[in-house]
């Protein structure tokens, strides 16, 4: 099949290479010309385009264009522009981490123009080129069938599925990332308990041990074993943990649906705590303990 790929970051570039290796024709576009040239060298046989207009011109109808750029304004701009350039029965695929409610709205807007919209929740990160990408696809059934060869090439065996109408793909990817937050938090807490124990444990060894037969084995554990095996002290890292936004949306959805999600919620809040040089809330708690019970406090050292 032929496909337009908009956005050649860490995932978009590797997806382009995987598609080319799978025998597809890819017309690629990125605002960064150096990136465009580099991917053209890596994905032998792919075709570069100078603009979105140029990309659309180089594709044969019915066209399919995969947008793989950061969620938010950049995605909105790309989809809006493509919506003005594409023809009836063409397809726009959003593989980024857009909010599912926005995907539902985009599908409705594009449907009025006769253009199909697909939200493809995509998981796999920088390992996707080798391992494949898990694809959670929301769209009309007939469009899923049309694009099946693309999905089959990008995903590993049993690694893609039509999960529902437009919006469902990004909804499931949002929940996926919320679960990921909780799993990562649990691993982090467990390894810290072992790292600080009196046994002087080799946490890299333990992570590797758990990978074989343990009930807590997972791909995240594989990655932990890789990182801790190289540097158990994680000396090059700070404890600041960013969040992509999907954890927040998951917690908001849990609130709206009155579904208890304490593990995911606490994992998200812990990321917020990681960004504080010092906690004013903890200062208030210490002050209250001193006031009501005369409990000792630790004075702040000022140079």
Check if the beta carbon of residue 253 is closer than 8 Å to that of residue 174.
yes
- Residues 63-96 pLDDT 10s: 999 999 998 999 999 999 999 999 999 999 999 9
Share of the chain above pLDDT 90, in %: 82
Distance separating alpha carbons of residues 157 and 112, to the nearest angstrom? 35
Q: Does the predicted TM-score (pTM) go above 0.75?
A: yes
Class of domain 173-273: mainly alpha
Q: How confident is the model at residue 291 (pLDDT cuts 50, 70, 90)?
A: confident
> Token match 């019970």: residue?
293
Count of other CB atoms within 10 angstroms of residue 132: 18
Q: pLDDT category, 285, cuts 50, 70, 90? A: confident
For residue 10, cis peptide bond before it (omega within 30 degrees of 0): no
Q: What pLDDT score does 302 carry?
A: 63
Residue 152 pLDDT greater than 90, yes or no: yes
Give the residue numbers marked as catalytic: 173, 180
Q: What's the longest Cα–Cα distance across the chain?
A: 77
Give per-residue pLDDT as tens, 153-171.
999 999 999 999 999 999 9
* CATH 3.40.50.720 in the chain, residue ranges: 2-166
> Is the Cβ–Cβ distance between 67 and 81 less than 8 Å?
no
pLDDT at position 61: 95
Residue 188 predicted with pLDDT over 70: yes
Chain mean pLDDT for the chain? 94
- Is residue 303 predicted with pLDDT exceeding 80? no
Per residue in 241-254, pLDDT (tens digit) is 998 899 999 999 99
CA-based nearest residue to 94, from 115, 114, 142: 115
Residue with more model confidence, 143 or 45:
143
Q: Are 137 and 118 in contact (CB under 8 A)?
A: yes
Mean pLDDT of 197-208: 96
Structural fold of domain 2-166: Rossmann fold (3.40.50)
The residues of the chain that CATH labels 1.10.1040.10 are 173-273
Calculate helix-pair angle for 168-195, 219-230, nearest 10 degrees. Answer: 40
> In the predicted model, what is the mean pLDDT of residues 213-226?
95
Reference 216, options 189, 193, 183, 247; nearest CA is 183
Q: How many CA atoms lie within 13 A of 218 on its CB side?
A: 11
Give residue 278's pLDDT: 84
- SS3 of 97, please? coil
State the CB neighbour count (10 A cutoff) for residue 23. 10
């Amino acid at each position: 099949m032929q496909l337009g790929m908009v956005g050649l970051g860490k995932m978009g570039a590797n997806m382009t290479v995987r598609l080319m290796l799978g025998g597809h024709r890819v017309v690629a576009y990125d605002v960064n010309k150096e990136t465009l040239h580099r991917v053209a060298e890596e994905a032998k046989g792919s075709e570069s385009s100078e603009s979105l207009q140029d990309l659309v011109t180089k594709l044969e109808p019915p066209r399919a264009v995969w947008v793989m750029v950061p969620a938010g304004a950049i995605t909105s701009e790309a989809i809006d522009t493509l919506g003005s350039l594409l023809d009836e029965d063409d397809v726009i695929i959003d593989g980024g981490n857009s909010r599912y409610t926005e995907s539902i709205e985009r599908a409705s807007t594009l449907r009025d123009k006769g253009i199909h919209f697909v939200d493809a929740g995509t998981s796999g990160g920088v390992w996707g080129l080798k391992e494949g990408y898990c694809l959670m696809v929301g769209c009309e059934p007939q469009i899923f069938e049309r694009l099946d060869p693309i999905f089959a090439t990008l995903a590993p065996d049993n690694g893609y599925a039509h999960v529902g109408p437009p919006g469902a793909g990004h909804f499931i990817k949002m929940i996926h990332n919320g679960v990921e937050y909780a799993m990562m938090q649990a691993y982090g807490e467990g390894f810290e308990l072992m790292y600080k124990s009196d046994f002087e444990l080799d946490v890299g060894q333990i992570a590797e041990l758990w990978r074989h037969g343990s009930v807590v084995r997972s791909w995240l554990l594989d990655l932990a074993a890789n990182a801790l095996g190289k540097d158990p002290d994680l000396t090059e890292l700070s404890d600041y943990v960013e969040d992509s936004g999907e954890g927040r949306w998951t917690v908001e959805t849990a609130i709206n649906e009155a579904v208890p999600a304490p593990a995911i919620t606490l994992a998200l809040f812990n990321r917020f705590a990681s960004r504080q040089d010092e906690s004013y809330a903890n200062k208030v708690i210490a002050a209250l303990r001193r006031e009501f019970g005369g409990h000792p406090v630790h004075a702040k050292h000022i140079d």
